[in-house]
Structure 1
């Protein structure tokens, strides 16, 4: 048994995980590269709502390249990792890209809150936005510095395989610092992440409340403008006149009774039939009013989603980020608590934990699809590039959203 055979045996059960990581890498680079090209090069109109998209796409592309490559290296070389410097560098870059993405989403949430809920506050200038993006990157780099001291190349001694009565020795990338320091750092990251999530939730809650109040106000105005007055022949006074005329006028029925004949219909039944028709006509009037209201609401809802599409888009991106990133934070915290025993589990359990641990990369992969779902201009530009039309498509998104 040699080191290469031992390494192959350990990496064999991670083939499925490696395939997923390769998909992350390919889709993430292509998708985010396309986003950067279209928003920076193809779209001539610089929109305030789209400013942060290229920056976020660049961070996503870096996270996909660094995170997927680093994870593949750990999977393929579990006991043959090539060097202490590479281990520290990859850990630092991977942590930086992840933290910068989350911090930028926090900045975007605050920006959208000011834009939707505080529209009269001075808008961020281009210089302010650039400083904010730069500050986001610097914050992520500073928060990632401890990884340089906590992680590195570790010697691994096999307790199963020997060569000439000497145990096999390999090297992997992992925690090299003290358990207390690792626990403190991961606990700080957990608190930082939870605080960011709370702030983002508060911002988008206020945004949602503002949008809801505007929608309800608009619906009330639509209802007031579409109220149909009651028909004259269905008014209360008209119904009363009908009843009086039926009671006071001598009818043919009375004559028939006096002549010894039988009435064709009882009076009560006739009254009942008459009053059954009135609510039926009233129901039809209400139905027509409801149909008009629905028809008026359809273009209003389309205009609503067009107006607030960027707020909904960044809400969706943030929700996906939280869902994908929380498992990584929780596993890192548990790993720092149970340093010696956490990864000593059956292969199937390890595969599942690694999938959840690296699920954060999926957030960086799906963002281009979210842009395509919400931004019609981006979709048209993608179709233009794929189909290679001679004429550039007309920009369907001439209005700015919130």
Structure 2
């Protein structure tokens, strides 16, 4: 990082403070999403990891929540720090750590979602063939975390706060990863690979949905033709079997998680590519109110997944209500205990 004299540093601090208002909406957005992400992902880890029936897809969802909660606990607070000191960013170490953690979790989410889509494809479309064993699922999970960390190594290697000169002549020092030429090519490559992964995932899910619908149709037709009792049942409103319903819920859940991931990451990388070419040297302007919020769209990936589980999975909703009631009951019990101790203390003082 180039050294800056004291006068320049004072000017940087003043310029950063004057332009702080453009970053306030983004900070408010982060403040709203942070507790949602921490509590939601902690609930997912507890429910999918310990309460629901153990399965490969539940293992993958649990580990996806682990990656998401790391983003919430480390990535979002470091993003606070970056936004507060956006044009006067002082720390090389913080810039490198934020880049590594953010991209490692991003890559981990993409690879884990790809792994889930492959597992769903094998489970539904190749149900008569060899299935993914629990041991293989654990090995795949470990490999995903290792490969994600490995692929994120360029960020701590090349990321540094650098001095840039804006179009109006103002010198700023900012930690913005896609502005360095090495990281620019890294981001472009990652974006292309990411789009390929998303296309592959949705092709697999299209096959899964198509096969699942064919299976349900075939099952209902066979049931209707098998016996007189089945014909009688067919004249009544049919209800899906519990196994079929659970399979459908699981498929819808992981598909919508993938949609949330695509919605959260594609815009930010598109904006990064465009701002690299056109707007990264422009001084702050009213458009930054929107741009700073759009730059934070990455946190939707690590905070909204629990909401998807809540909407689409009835078992998750049931377990979440039980967990919430347990937390509230313990909170009320603690309040009653403290109140009782306070009354006892008051009585002793009176005596």
Structure 1 residue aligned with 2:176: 174
Please state how far the C-alpha of 1:114 moved relative to its aligned partner.
Answer: 0.4
CA distance in 2, matches of 1:34, 1:214: 33
Select the residue among 272, 285, 298 that pairs with 1:360.
298
Select the residue among 123, 126, 132 that pairs with 1:118.
126
Q: Per-residue CA shift, 1:3-33, capped at 9, x if unaligned?
A: 5433221111221111101122111011101
Q: Per-residue CA shift, 1:199-226, capped at 9, x if unaligned?
A: 1012111101101212332454566689
Using a 3 Å threshold, how does the CA distance of structure 1 residues 158 and 320 change in structure 2: closer, same or farther? closer
Residue pairs, 1:201-216, within 5 angstroms: 201-216=202-217
- The 3-state SS of whatever aligns with 1:14 is helix
Quick check: 1:30 aligned with 2:32? no
Structure 1 residue aligned with 2:342: none
CA distance in 1, matches of 2:172, 2:164: 5
Normalising by structure 2, report the TM-score. Answer: 0.79
Residue pairs, 1:209-228, within 5 angstroms: 209-221=210-222
Instruction: Say if 1:157 and 1:169, in contact at 8 Å, map to a contact too.
Output: yes
- The 3-state SS of whatever aligns with 2:286 is helix
Q: Give the greater-gyration-radius structure (CA).
A: 1
CA distance in 2, matches of 1:294, 1:81: 70
CA distance in 2, matches of 1:61, 1:390: 22
CA distance in 1, matches of 2:67, 2:44: 12
CA distance in 2, matches of 1:223, 1:177: 64
Q: Per-residue CA shift, 1:169-207, capped at 9, x if unaligned?
A: 65321349753x333212211211011012101211110
Structure 2 residue aligned with 1:327: 267
Select the residue among 274, 295, 310 that pairs with 1:372.
310
Select the residue among 50, 53, 67 that pairs with 1:59.
67
Normalising by structure 1, report the TM-score. Answer: 0.70
- The 3-state SS of whatever aligns with 1:155 is strand
Instruction: Say if 1:197 and 1:322, in contact at 8 Å, map to a contact too.
Output: yes
Instruction: Say if 1:150 and 1:176, in contact at 8 Å, map to a contact too.
Output: no
- The 3-state SS of whatever aligns with 1:122 is coil
Please state how far the C-alpha of 1:370 moved relative to its aligned partner.
Answer: 1.7
CA distance in 1, matches of 2:157, 2:77: 21
Instruction: Say if 1:151 and 1:177, in contact at 8 Å, map to a contact too.
Output: no
The runs of 5 or more residues in structure 2 that have no matched partner are: 1-9, 330-351
CA RMSD of aligned residues (A): 3.2
Please state how far the C-alpha of 1:150 moved relative to its aligned partner.
Answer: 3.1
- The 3-state SS of whatever aligns with 1:322 is helix
CA distance in 2, matches of 1:301, 1:6: 64
CA distance in 1, matches of 2:327, 2:191: 49
Structure 1 residue aligned with 2:288: 350
Instruction: Say if 1:59 and 1:100, in contact at 8 Å, map to a contact too.
Output: yes
- The 3-state SS of whatever aligns with 1:78 is coil
The runs of 5 or more residues in structure 1 that have no matched partner are: 161-166, 228-288, 392-402
CA distance in 1, matches of 2:187, 2:57: 34
Instruction: Say if 1:189 and 1:329, in contact at 8 Å, map to a contact too.
Output: no
Q: Per-residue CA shift, 1:270-325, capped at 9, x if unaligned?
A: xxxxxxxxxxxxxxxxxxx9xx867423x138774333211111011111111111
Greater share of helix: 2
Instruction: Say if 1:10 and 1:78, in contact at 8 Å, map to a contact too.
Output: no
Please state how far the C-alpha of 1:365 moved relative to its aligned partner.
Answer: 0.9
